[in-house]
Structure 1
Amino acid sequence: MLGGDVTVHEAELRYGPFGPATVKPYAMTRRAVDGGSLLKVYAGIDPEGRRHREAETVRHAAQWGLSVPEVLATGECGAGSWSVFRMLPGVPCGVRTDRAIEVYIDHVLGLTGRLHRTSPGLTPGSGWSGEQGRPATQHQFLLDQFSQRCRQRPWWAALAEVLQPLETHPVVYLHGDLKPEHLLVHDHHLSVVDWEASARGPAVLDYTDVAFHLVRDLLYMGVKPSRVPIDLIARLPFNGPVLAWRLLLWLDRRRPRDIDLMAFRDLHRVAAEDHAATGYASLARAVSAMRTAGVPR
């Protein structure tokens, strides 16, 4: 591995050349033309923190025996903080058929059985290392991820109240973004990539994130709400208030006024659900309405 304070040019001489860029809202990636490595440039929200968080977490995950991408080099440049990761073999999980979704959920449940560990003194927060002098609660960790404008919305106090019971949940290590494209399968071997959203919190955060992305992405692919395989998604552990939180977080990170499209009664319906099947069906209706209103995926 290249040491610290190296340049992207030095990394490219060692691991590149890198091909065309794939640009996302908060990151840009470029694959080496030989397929051996990936350059990731962090931009937007806390790029330096995300770089350190991901590099640190994959090292811990590797020590646990999980198959994760090795960090080959890391540094800063004018475009933002960056890391080079060794590419792993495998094909991302798919969601285009019910069978593919079933297999994906099997992988999620198997992985989280190994991932969701707890330890004495573990507190909620971003990354896998606790921050000294900053005690946090489960529900406050979730609320802190919203923009300041949300604190003036009519649902803010109600959401804070329904999230309070999370304090009884154990704090565990989380991946934070277990989307299908982050799980690579090769010869029945599972690898996990993209750890920048790693965190410490209640296990239901990982499960809720998986369910939310499945429902949202299927709807934005053109699947009708009535055709979303709720019975398969309902295999995941369910928490209505956390599902409502995840829906609002999505809207908060889209266009400035999208958060105001969510009616309080619809939000309350999602948060008040006790059963996974009805909760995810309510989510599908809410996301479908947002798609019709023009909210970007």
Structure 2
Amino acid sequence: MIDGDVTVHEAELLYGPFVRATVKPYAMTQRAVDGGSLLKVYAGVDPEGRRHREADAVRRAAHWGLSVPEVLATGRCDAGSWSVFSMLPGVPCGVRTERAIKEYIDHVIRLTDRLHQSSRDLTPGSGWGGERESPATQPQFLLDQLSPRCRERPWWAALAEALQPLESHPVVYLHGDLKPEHLLADDSQLSVVDWEASARGPAVADYADVVFHLVRDLLYGGVKPGCGPIDLMTRLPFSGPVLAWRLLLWLDRRRPQDIDLIAARDVHQLAAEDHAPAAYASLAAAVSALRAAGVPR
């Protein structure tokens, strides 16, 4: 791997040319013409931290025997922090049919059985390195991912209190963003991409992320509330407070005004729910209302 010794232009000469840019709020990606590699430029929230976290996580995950991209080159430039990754075979998981959703959840369960490793010395935080001098508690690690403006919202204190039981949960290695498009399936193996949100925390954070993306993507795809695959989602471990936190994290990273569209009573209701089907129905109702209010996916 080439780390910091080349520019993006030099990496393109080695692995490109790169074309067909895909621009998202926090990253821009381009595929090489020969299909062998992908250039990712990090933007927005902590680009340099995300670059280092992703490179470290894929190296460790490969050591554990997981199928992950190889980091071919990584560095910084005027455009920002960047990495070049090898492309992997496989088709992204889908959510268009009940069968596809079942296969996606099957993949998540098998992956997390291997991924969610824990040790006595593991402390909560971003990335897998654990370099933090003063380790956060599990609840504080989740709350720290919300912007400071959230502390002034009427639901903050109740959410912080509801997350306190997480302190008794084991700290494990998290992928942090197990949405369907980050799991590539083919006939022989499952490959996992996009490790920039890797972290150390409660396992239920990964599962809440899976449920949130399923509910949001189905609703934004036109599925009516109440028609989602609740019976399939209940196969995953559940936490109402973490599900509420994941909904708020999404809103916090949309338009500045979107975080004010969620009512405190809706946050309290979701965080207090201890029955998974009812919580998923509440989440669907909240996301549907936010979609109707114009919140971008």
If the TM-score is normalised by the length of the shorter chain, which range does it land in? over 0.9
Comparing 229-238 with 47-56, which one deviates more in the overlay?
Answer: 229-238
Once the two structures are superposed, residues 219-242 of structure 1 have per-residue CA deviations (whole angstroms, 9 ceiling, x without a partner) of 000100021111111111110000
Count of aligned positions: 297
Matches within 5 A, 1:169-180: 169-180=169-180
**Contact 1:5/1:76, CA 8 A, preserved across alignment:** no
Name the structure 2 match of 1:29: 29
* Distance in 2 of aligned mates of 1:187 and 1:14: 31
* Distance in 1 of aligned mates of 2:25 and 2:163: 28
1:76 paired with 2:65, answer no
Structure 2 alignment gaps of length 5 or more: none
Determine helix, strand or coil for the equivalent of 1:225: coil
* Distance in 2 of aligned mates of 1:46 and 1:260: 24
Per-residue deviation at 1:25? 0.4
* Distance in 1 of aligned mates of 2:8 and 2:257: 37
Name the structure 2 match of 1:263: 263
Percent identity (aligned): 80
Name the structure 1 match of 2:146: 146
Root mean square deviation of aligned Cα: 0.9
Per-residue deviation at 1:7? 0.7
* Distance in 2 of aligned mates of 1:84 and 1:99: 34
Name the structure 2 match of 1:66: 66
Name the structure 1 match of 2:237: 237
Name the structure 2 match of 1:41: 41
**Contact 2:125/2:132, CA 8 A, preserved across alignment:** no
Determine helix, strand or coil for the equivalent of 1:40: strand
Matches within 5 A, 1:38-117: 38-117=38-117
**Contact 2:225/2:284, CA 8 A, preserved across alignment:** yes
Per-residue deviation at 1:3? 4.4
1:10 paired with 2:19, answer no
Name the structure 2 match of 1:282: 282
User: Structure 1's 3 and 228: CA in aligned 2 closer, same or farther, altered over 3 A?
Assistant: closer
Letter in structure 2 aligned against 1:173:
Y
**Contact 2:16/2:33, CA 8 A, preserved across alignment:** yes
**Contact 2:240/2:270, CA 8 A, preserved across alignment:** yes
Per-residue deviation at 1:59? 0.2
Which 4+ stretches in 1 moved above 4 angstroms? none
* Distance in 1 of aligned mates of 2:159 and 2:210: 21
